Amino acid sequence: MTADQNARTRAARTSAPTLMERRSIDYIPDAERHGSLSSQFTLWLGANLQVTAVVTGALAVVLGGDVFWSLVGLFAGQLAGGTVMALHGAQGPRLGLPQMISSRVQFGVYGAILPLALACVMYVGFSAGGMVLAGQALGQLLRIANGSAILLFAALVVMLAALGYRTIHAMGRISSLVGVLAFLYLFASLLHGNDIGALLQRRHFTMASFLLAMSLSASWQIAYGPYVADYSRYLPRATPALGTFLAVGVGSVAGAQISMTFGVFAAALAGDRFAGHEVAFIVGLGASGAVAALLYFTIALGKLTITTLNAYGSVMSVAAILTGFSGRRAISGRTRLCCILLMVGLSTALALAGERAFLREFSAFLLFLLAFFTPWSAINLVDYYFVTRERYDVPALFDPDGRYGRWNLAGIAIYALGVLVQLPFIATPFYTGALVAPLGDVDISWIIGLAVPAALYYVACRAGMAPAALILPDELGSAERAGG
């Protein structure tokens, strides 16, 4: 057999479907593309039908809003943030790469390490929060201590993240079905015997409460931006960008709005019985022991789906950092597993250490995180859709001496300015800007963080040297690398 025949045999073996994913951050060849838009919809629907989204929606009422305008504000924020999130997701089939690798176009191969490191912080923080709530649910379901339940949950996350892409999408299909059925039951139980019409008629609009609701849901959606294309990159390259945008966006917006709407009604109807006792209150809506057990299972399943997404996304970011220095296009299976263990281990340690205090700080963490990711989203989207217009040199993304270089000082400077310009508008327990009080104590930093860097990047970089067309790697060589 010739060397070329040997290479093609290895490529064919690589393209054959397996339970455990072989790829990491390297390009996905056409022969390995698979999946459909329906799997994108169910993944993001299932990922958002979960208790943390319920808590986030409840904050709109807990912090002073009425039911009607909280629902309107949350939906407006879902549309704004969901549009940003879904535009990132539409890049996946076209580029065949994880989301954060494309940051090397805007920041340089080394310069992209800054947003990558921040993304890792995000994954660890969100995963720790998910583990706290999942530990409560699993602990009650299995009659074990919360700490033991958190460790069990972490082991499941490691296993699913190690299996990778196909398993994660299968989880999305299961959690979306279970989540829809569970929320139908929860809404029926919560609203039974209550005058919802009267609740919706109590309308007292204030701009501060409306913008707060918008910020809560917009931040929820934008926080998905750094990894959404990780889960669309295997779709066939001919998949319409609009179809991907709609499948990802509608799934995420619908799931989050359903969960947050339940949170709004729960906070309005239950008051102190809900705030601080979210898992117990939700399960308390069960009519029997069997139903309560199913609700505990549903809460744990929803958190398992999204925490696995975080763990898998963390591998992509850590791998991108490591390969940025080495010039490699992928990491080994052993290194990939070590990355999963490291990131899940950090999240588990935080969950165990901060189990009792986490939920009080969650909203502050969510809003504060936006200051670092809205400028990144703005720069990435303006570059992809308006500056380079999808014309990336994919092989050069892995070459520090290539087209994109080690550092893109213009992109880095605009990113830094995008973070700084938000400071007067940030309102969190960590820091409150000077302009927050005149605006009614509302955090609108995410709006500034999207608009200013987007405009500056377009003006400063629109004359950049993009290739005449999208340049993709040699597909045989890509398959050989994965097989090796």
Give pLDDT tens digits for 133-192: 888 888 888 889 988 999 999 999 999 999 999 999 999 999 999 999 999 999 998 888
Average pLDDT over residues 264-272: 86
Query: Who has greater pLDDT, 38 or 51?
Result: 38
- Read off the pLDDT band of 481 (50, 70, 90): very low
**Predicted pLDDT of residue 363:** 53
How far, in Å, CA of 343 to CA of 341, rounded?
6
- Of the listed ranges 199-208, 236-245, 364-373, 472-481, the least confidently predicted one is 472-481
Q: Which helix (H) or strand (E) holds 304?
A: helix 289-326
**DSSP-assigned letter for residue 387:** I
Alpha carbons 449 and 455: distance in angstroms, whole number = 11
Whole-angstrom Cα distance, residue 24 to residue 320?
A: 9
Q: Is pLDDT above 60 for 282? A: yes
What is the per-residue burial (b if ≥16 Cβ within 10 Å, else e) of 315-330?
bbbbbbbbbbeeebbb
Q: Classify residue 90 by its DSSP letter.
A: T
Of 213, 211, 191, 188, give the one whose Cα is nearest residue 200. Answer: 191
Distance CA 287, CA 189 (A): 9
* Percent of the chain scoring above 70 in pLDDT: 90
Please give the single-letter amino acid code of residue 314.
Answer: S
Euclidean distance between the first and the last CA atom of the chain, given in angstroms as a whole number: 19
- The better pLDDT of the pair 110, 52 is held by 110
**pLDDT (mean) for 72-80:** 96
The pLDDT value recorded for residue 367 is: 60
Report the C-alpha gap between 102 and 170 in whole angstroms.
26
CA angle 42, 43, 45 (to 5 degrees): 60
- Best CA proximity match to 450, nearest among 373, 397, 342: 373
Where is pLDDT greater, at 326 or 233?
233
| HSE, side-chain direction, 13 A CA sphere, residue 214 | 16
| 358-382 vs 51-62: helix crossing angle, rounded to 10 | 100
**pLDDT attached to residue 453:** 96
Q: How many C-beta atoms surround the C-beta of residue 470 within 10 A?
A: 16
Q: What average pLDDT score do residues 110-117 get?
A: 91
> If 0-12 CB within 10 Å is exposed, 13-18 middle and 19+ buried, where does residue 184 land?
exposed
- Please give the domain boundaries of the chain with CATH numbers for all domains: 39-222+238-469 (1.10.4160.10)
Is residue 13 predicted with pLDDT exceeding 50? no
pLDDT tens sequence across 343-368:
999 999 988 887 666 545 655 665 67
Please state the separation of Cα 468 from the chain's center in Å.
32
Contact yes or no for 410/382 (Cβ under 8 A)? no
Determine the average pLDDT of the residues in 181-208: 87
